[in-house]
Amino acid sequence: MRYVDEYRDAGLVKGVLEEIRRTVIRPWVVMEICGGQTHAILRYGLDELLPPEIELVHGPGCPVCVTPLQLIDQALAIASLPEVIFTSYGDMLRVPGSHQDLFSIRAAGGQVRVVYSPLDAVKIAQENPDKQVVFFAIGFETTAPANVMSVIQAKTLGLKNYSILVSHVCVPPAMETILGSPLNRVQGFLAAGHVCTVMGYWQYLSIAEKYRVPIVVTGFEPLDLAHGLLMAVRQLEEGRCEVENAYPRAVTQPGNQAAQAMIDRVFQPCDRHWRGIGRIPMSGWGLRPEFADFDAEKRFQVGHIQTQESKLCISGEILQGLKKPTQCPAFGKQCTPSTPLGATMVSSEGACSAYYRYGRNQ
């Protein structure tokens, strides 16, 4: 990527952090929505360089972390079938289900393949007409365009052996759930720049107004994050509750309208269960009835599978900004990246994995 070095320039970042120090007077709790932002914050040590008045809490924007255990068990049941080639992004392979993970299915002879795009999965379906090819379509608004594109392409090609196991979730309903909770601690948000690249930020205007909370669309490099935080802190200190864009090189208010139209053609809003958080009404997308033939849950009839979450795992509280990973009694003990109890310890965007990886043990 060109021009990325400027956004990692230590001198420029220090200058913005100094400006935050000059601006902040009172204590504030700010949540970065996206797990990619959480990892960047810890990787570059921004959390340790901020003035003590600012507490960062980590949001639910890690797709692997919020995918329900039940859906992972459904994926495992499908992937175990001899006629199936199960395809997924690499992150999902190590996420434990109730008894095993996709890696162990593969080790036992199951056909589980890592792909970098659902369009690769469509190609596999074309090349293997005697197999059922399933793509694990999880994620937020960011990954939805590619997933719906794969369905449109499979339909155009007349493929009868391609389907997706869908668990798409959307950011705005999760923000409203966090803000509407009587336990809420979040006073300002850094919204996820990549989500807003697709969806714009028009959906956040009513949230900022209704809950009187500043929302700053923020990128992923250290300078982006420091700049987004400075804008949020300025709003908090000045008593403003606006939606501002600190990522204008990628995001516009309307977003990518062609992508939004394509999503709307294939998906419709539906209730979704968020791992650790629970059911949030109209917080995700599912396939429209006219694309039901591509719904793996219906094709393989795995909708009845029910599961129990680990009682030790407090990831739901972490993803709502109520606790930090180090407040989990299992952190670094029963739960490590090699013995994960929850998805937040496995995912490359999970808050627990970030704390473990970058040595935030206190």
Nearest to 242 by CA among 212, 275, 200: 212
The pair of three-digit structure tokens given for residue 154, joined into one six-digit string: 């499979």
* Span interacting with ligand SF4, options 24-32, 118-126, 204-212, 306-314, rule CB under 6 A: 306-314
Which one, 104 or 310, has the nearer CB to ligand SF4? 310
Q: Is the dihedral of CA 9, 11, 14, 16 positive or negative?
A: negative
Taking CB under 6 A as the criterion, the residue among 77, 146, 312, 322 binding ligand SF4 is 312
The pair of three-digit structure tokens given for residue 190, joined into one six-digit string: 């850094």
- Min CB(58)–ligand SF4 separation in Å: 11
| One character per residue 319-358, x = contact with ligand SF4 (rule: CB under 6 A) | ------x--x-xx---x-----xx-xx------x------
Taking CB under 6 A as the criterion, the residue among 151, 216, 226, 313 binding ligand SF4 is 313
315 binds ligand SF4 (CB under 6 A): yes
| One character per residue 61-90, x = contact with ligand SF4 (rule: CB under 6 A) | ------------------------------
Which one, 33 or 343, has the nearer CB to ligand SF4? 343
133 binds ligand SF4 (CB under 6 A): no
CA distances from 351 to 60, 159, 185, 250, 329 (A): 9, 39, 17, 25, 15
Half-sphere exposure of 256 toward its Cβ, with a 13 Å CA cutoff? 17
- Min CB(339)–ligand SF4 separation in Å: 9
Contacts of 326 (CB under 8 A, 6+ apart): 355, 360, 361, 362
Which one, 154 or 318, has the nearer CB to ligand SF4? 318
E strands in 209-329: 215-218, 243-245, 267-274, 278-287
Which one, 76 or 313, has the nearer CB to ligand SF4? 313
Rounded distance between C-alpha atoms, residue 121 and residue 123, angstroms:
5
Question: What DSSP character marks residue 277?
Answer: T
314 binds ligand SF4 (CB under 6 A): yes
CB 196 within 8 A of CB 253: no
Which residues contact ligand SF4 (rule: CB under 6 A)?
A: 312-315, 318, 325, 328, 330-331, 335, 341-342, 344-345, 352
